[in-house]
A = this chain, B = another copy of it.
Amino acid sequence: MVSKRYPTSIEVARLAGVSQSAVSRTFTPGASVSARTREKVLAAAETLGFQPSLIPKIMLTDRSGLVALVVGGLENAFYARVVQSLAACLREAGNQIVLVPVDSDYTLDAVAARLAQYRVDAIVSALAVLSQDAAETLSASRIPVVSFNTPVTAARVGSVGSDNALGGRQAARLLHARDVRHPAFVAGPAISPASTERLTGFREALREAGRPEPRVGGSAYTYEGGAEAATQLCAEGPVDGIFCANDLCALGTIDALRRAGRRVPEDVRVIGYDDIPAAGWGGYDLTSFDQDVPALVEATLAMLARMSATDAAAGERVLIPPRLTERGSTRA
């Protein structure tokens, strides 16, 4: 048998000169124990660095206080901020956060099984993409799931995200106001619903404004992906206004335009999405959409609360309106 690492209640009882039951009662809220015994137990616990274990309670109740956070690329400052904010709020609510970084090669089946073995109370998926299959795998283990920014429909799964179509429409109206005649869209991965929704709103509002159909390039939420897409869009035809599926794409787009001798905003207007810190840096000064992380996090916590006792929130989708932050990249 492996030796116990943590100080045990037996050690505390021995040092305090009391029974093990007295130690147990001292650490059970509402249990009866004399002031003198309690004092001796607490002094011994302090000396030994004893902390009562939560494990027996978890075994009894199937409630662990653990909430799993499944994330993709933290290299996107938007997701880093979401994780930090969610983790801080969940901890305020008395939970501990189990971080599960997932890359595309890793199957969510294995993740879900392992999390179930730890009896996590809920899963928040902050993946850029959560497939329908993966959502069903997660939900099969009876764990409530909130999908962040990806709408999915499955039992015990709800979703919270930015109103991407609204953002797309606002981007189109801003480029229309700047009299853009050759609009383009730099997309994220084809399977990303957020990217698709942003394009849909962009396309609709351009059409309503009597502007031409946007040309579309790109297939990755990265700086390099944005740079490649912008280079190709410029090579293929005229372009004077680009809406990008996220800020990393937009930063790559701006640098590619500059390398091609195009000025931002004079020759080409550029808009991003996420309002990451780099959007505000002097080297870019990028107009972008703030997804309102505090509101997204609040909605996620509220949904988790609704799901914690029942399946009431399953299938729900909460949309948070993005806020346009205008900067130099779309100056008149």
Contacts and interface: CB of A to CB of B under 8 A. Distances in A.
B141 A49 contact: yes
A186 interface: no
A59 B277 CA distance: 44
A75 B293 CA distance: 14
Contacts of A119: 6, 53-55
B62 A2 contact: yes
A217 B114 CA distance: 49
A245 B4 CA distance: 43
Interface string A249-293: 001101110110000000000000000011001111000000000
A97 interface: yes
A142 B149 CA distance: 40
Interface in A218-254: 223, 251-252, 254
Contacts of A97: 98-100
B281 A255 contact: yes
Most B CB within 10 A of own CB, among A114, A258, A281: A281
Contact of A99 (B61, B81, B98, B141): B98
B74 A74 contact: yes
16 contacts: A1-B60, A2-B61, A6-B116, A6-B119, A6-B142, A49-B141, A51-B113, A51-B116, A55-B55, A66-B98, A74-B74, A75-B80, A99-B99, A255-B283, A258-B283, A281-B283
Given A74-B74, A74-B80, A97-B99, 13 more contacts: A6-B141, A49-B142, A51-B141, A55-B55, A55-B118, A69-B99, A74-B81, A75-B77, A88-B101, A96-B114, A223-B281, A255-B283, A258-B283
Nearest to A52: B117
Contact of A118 (B59, B96, B114, B223): B96
